[in-house]
Amino acid sequence: DTGVSQNPRHKITKRGQNVTFRCDPISEHNRLYWYRQTLGQGPEFLTYFQNEAQLEKSRLLSDRFSAERPKGSFSTLEIQRTEQGDSAMYLCAAGGTAQQETQYFGPGTRLLVL
């Protein structure tokens, strides 16, 4: 158990619909990261938070994607007007602020856009 939970574990939606995913890390991890993993590939960085501040966003994160971390605890990732290309596993990871510190991953949310 890494102490990071994600919900839902699976989501099937139709193209054009909005979806929201949630990540809950244990409280002592003040950094939170979102990654996306497509089939046969390694995870790719999307964005990260330190406490409630979103400090970096990848170019992979189009305007249809938005992430929040109110109060520096749980985080949500919303995708608006989903496209088939958004189908992937969305991973949340948590860690501390020490240089090059280990990140602990949740089980992921698998999204399928029909």
Partner 1 sequence: GDSVTQMEGPVTLSEEAFLTINCTYTATGYPSLFWYVQYPGEGLQLLLKATKADDKGSNKGFEATYRKETTSFHLEKGSVQVSDSAVYFCALIPFSGGYNKLIFGAGTRLAVHP
Q: Which of 48, 75, 90, 111 binds partner 1 (CB under 8 A)?
A: 48
**Peptide bond just before 107 cis, omega within 30 deg:** no
Nearer to partner 1, 2 or 80 (CB): 2
Nearer to partner 1, 20 or 105 (CB): 105
Residue 61 near partner 1 by CB under 8 A: no
Give the DSSP letter string of 17-72: --EEEEEEE-TT--EEEEEEE-TTS--EEEEEEETTEEEEE-TTS-TTEEEE-GGG
How many residues bind partner 1 (CB under 8 A)? The answer is 28
Give the binding site for partner 1 (CB under 8 A): 2, 4, 31, 33, 35, 40-45, 48, 50, 55-56, 91, 93, 95, 99-108
